[in-house]
Amino acid sequence: MGNAFRQKLLRWYRTHGRHLPWRQTHDPYRILIAEVMLQQTQVDRVVDRYHRWLKRFPTVQSLARASSAEVLKEWSGLGYNRRALAVQLIAKQVVSEHHGQFPQDVNVLMQFKGIGAYTAHAIAVFAYRQPVPLVDTNIKRVLGRIFLGYKQLERKRDEEDVFWELSRQVVARSKRSYDLNQGLMDFGALVCTAKQPRCPTCPMRTICKSYPAILTAHPERLRVKTKRSEPVFFGQPRRIWRGRILRYLHTSSSATLQTIGRAIQPDWKANRLPWLKSVVHTLEKDQMVVRRGATVHLTDIL
């Protein structure tokens, strides 16, 4: 991996890198919260919620002590609510098994339920400044386009080891692993974007294997992640209905299925009860709600 790429990236990052609140800390707990919130949620939406969360749960100990209902309430509106319970389980394990200190070893971090390869490596590099590789969608897109070419990227997008190796070559033995990884993410978010990359002004175009052919490429050929279509029920995917159920339960200590149905759907009909029961069952499986008799409660309310 040539020095030219690293030098160009670091030079660009010094001028254009984003100023984000989780970049002002090396606390692994705060970095974990940011990384989990950023999963499937845009940066602009995360910034305010990140500050709110840390005001409510400033330490890993305070999150571990909280009830699941409190955690879900604070997460409400961010979507994919199971992430909230996952991060609390991590906090409890850190407190109970590691004396409140996050491990520094990537392999140990990956043993936590809820911490995958990306999050473990993110904690290692952003909290502990370790020269480890990092691969998210932005990094995968940048490295794939520049070093493989967008046509090869399209063919290899599911071969994760290829991109981890590319990332490893970028940061291996570098004292600037933190800046290189942050720079890669920002470059993917601001220049080497998914749908309309800014190729004509890109500082990497002289070394990029995709340029200039990428300028006339069909948008579908630029996709890194396989497009997934969500099943829709009554005009919305199930995750939206799950969120509405949880938000309603925050206003009521308990409710029947019929009451929930009328609260979340203005055109509620009783024949939708089996469908609603199946949605509530998914929330039960994720330990977000419990059912006692005919009523549904948020976890820990009882």
**CB-neighbour burial class of residue 112 (10 A; exposed 0-12, middle 13-18, buried 19+):** buried
Q: Cα torsion at 21, 29, 62, 282 (round to 10°)?
A: 100
Report how far residue 219's alpha carbon sits from residue 223's, in angstroms, rounded to the nearest whole number. 7
- Which of 88, 96, 179, 95 is closest to 131 using CA atoms? 179
C-alpha count within 13 angstroms, C-beta hemisphere, residue 245: 30
Q: What's the token pair of residue 147?
A: 């070093």
Query: Is 35 a known active-site residue?
Result: yes
Among 35, 165, 220, 230, the active-site one is 35
Of 166, 134, 141, nearest to 221 by C-alpha is: 141
- Measure the CA–CA gap between 128 and 257, rounded to whole angstroms: 47
Q: What are phi and psi of 233, to 5 degrees?
A: -125, 120
**Which amino acids are annotated catalytic?**
35
